[in-house]
Amino acid sequence: MIFALIFLVCLVLGVPIFVTLGVPSLVELVSSPIPLASLAHSLFDGVDKFPLLAIPNFVLAGAIMSRAGITRDIIDVMRAIVGQAYGGLAIVTILSCMFFAAISGSGPGTVAAIGSLLIPAMKEDGYPKDFGAAVASSGGTLGILLPPSNPMIVYGVLASVSIGDLFLAGLLPGILMGSLLIGTTYLLSRRNGYKGTPRPFERAAFIRSIYNAKFSLATPFVVLGGIYAGIFTPVEASIVAVVYALLVGIVIKRTIGLRRIWDSLGEASTICGGLIVIMGTAIFFGEFLALNMIPQRIAASLQAITTDPVMMLLIISAILIVLGTFMETLSTVIILTPILLPLVRQLGIDPIHFGIILVVTSEIGFLTPPLGVNLFVACGISGLTVEEVSRRVLPFIATIILGLLILIFYPQISLFLISF
């Protein structure tokens, strides 16, 4: 009882997540016969996970590629393909986010990299600024669904499932979600007459853009292709991504120097430093959840409502969407995986499929205030308030919820590629 009360108080007060996880567990430890040395062991075990090495490397690779001009190369190719359609530049934003997501593994990082270039470009092309910010923040949600995904790596560690399989399982749902967002963007643009400056398709310009961006476009194929072909593990792939990014930026494009590399290292350290502390306390927290049989109690409560796997996923998804409005994505994954995973396993739900559902519900959290990290990044770029962008992002939230329902009712979409 004290364990749950302290945990809820910490959540309501908004204290740092490692404190929220650690303090109730520590109080429980002190009042139990378990030796305090177990705390040190748990903190060490929480970060002594080899797959976690992939996260800082993927973040670093994305930061280097953004500063090396690879993002602009991707945008030029996408613009040559669809720039002339209704909402052409907005569709370019979604497509560019999909492509950059296959490099960075971060939602806010994708918004920052793509939005900083395309939100001002959309404004210059006649698109309302709030619409441009909504499109960029929505497209950025694909950063955690398409592989490589940082939340998937954390989930894979906590759930003891293959990270390579999670990456492969996220591919088709990511394409589905990207296609739905493109469709929504097109319909909204056509209804409101957003076309920007008409640009007829030019084959020569298209071929030239592909040629100029050939090394940039090859990046996800080098990284993900190596994983799926069994050439290297996800951790090795993350190192390859960093080396390839440096090779393209320094040797081929010659657009990045020591100062930009240093800035990239600083960005990766800032993003990933907190994760190390959180993962240690997360393992500690999970042990005390098991000690208090909290997962079993929650499972019994939910199973009293229904034992149908689809209905259970719908209930869990609704809970996750609500929690996502005030909990950061990695925090949601870290806290809820040890609580919910025993339940979904008991109902016969594939843990890989559940991981995809968990990530998709986290996408919605990127767009919903008061936390809505993607919204704040897009607002910082566009100079608008959260209220102005939140209104415009509602159709995209509805679209992601539609995609979530499709994935819940058709789990084959998530599991198709890993079945071979």
Q: How far is CA 409 from the centre of its chain?
A: 22
Give DSSP secondary structure letters for 308-360.
Answer: -HHHHHHHHHHHHHHHTTTS-HHHHHHHHHHHHHHHHHHTT--HHHHHHHHHH
Can you tell me whether residue 257 is helix, strand or coil? coil
d(CA 21, CA 114): 34
Which of 56, 127, 3 minimizes the C-alpha distance to 271?
56
pLDDT of residue 238: 87
Q: Which residue has the higher pLDDT, 149 or 281?
A: 149
For range 238-253, the mean pLDDT: 90
Which of 410, 408, 400, 417 minimizes the C-alpha distance to 140?
400
Q: Which residue has the tokens 């994708």?
A: 110
pLDDT of residue 156: 92
d(CA 137, CA 112): 9
Res 131 pLDDT > 90: yes
8 A C-beta contact, residue 140 and residue 62: no
8 A C-beta contact, residue 389 and residue 326: no
Report in angstroms the alpha-carbon separations of 6 from 21, 28, 43, 159, 342: 10, 10, 20, 25, 24
Phi-psi region of 384 (alpha: psi -120 to 50; beta: other; left: phi over 0): beta
Amino acid at 131: F
* Composition of the chain by helix, strand, coil, percent to 5: 80, 0, 20
Residues sharing a CB contact under 8 Å with residue 73, sequence separation 6 or more, in sequence order: 209, 212, 213, 216, 217
Of 3-7, 110-114, 321-325, 338-342, least confident by mean pLDDT is 3-7
8 A C-beta contact, residue 200 and residue 79: no
Q: Which residue has the higher pLDDT, 328 or 238?
A: 238
For range 337-343, the mean pLDDT: 87
pLDDT of residue 356: 96
Q: Taking the model in full, what pTM does it have? A: 0.83
Environment class of 197 (CB within 10 Å of its CB; exposed 0-12, middle 13-18, buried 19+) = exposed
Which of 141, 100, 167, 97 minimizes the C-alpha distance to 361?
141
Residues sharing a CB contact under 8 Å with residue 99, sequence separation 6 or more, in sequence order: 74, 78, 217, 220
Which of 402, 408, 401, 397 minimizes the C-alpha distance to 372?
397
8 A C-beta contact, residue 107 and residue 363: yes
Average pLDDT, the chain: 84
Band of residue 25 on the pLDDT scale cut at 50, 70, 90 = confident
Res 179 pLDDT > 90: yes
8 A C-beta contact, residue 128 and residue 82: no
Share of the chain above pLDDT 90, in %: 26
Structure tokens belonging to residue 45:
């075990």
Amino acid at 395: P
For range 176-191, the mean pLDDT: 94
Chain segment 370-399, per-residue pLDDT in tens? 667 888 888 888 888 888 898 999 999 999
pLDDT of residue 47: 67
Q: Which residue has the tokens 């020591």?
A: 258
Amino acid at 306: T
Give the Cβ contact number of residue 27 at 10 Å.
16
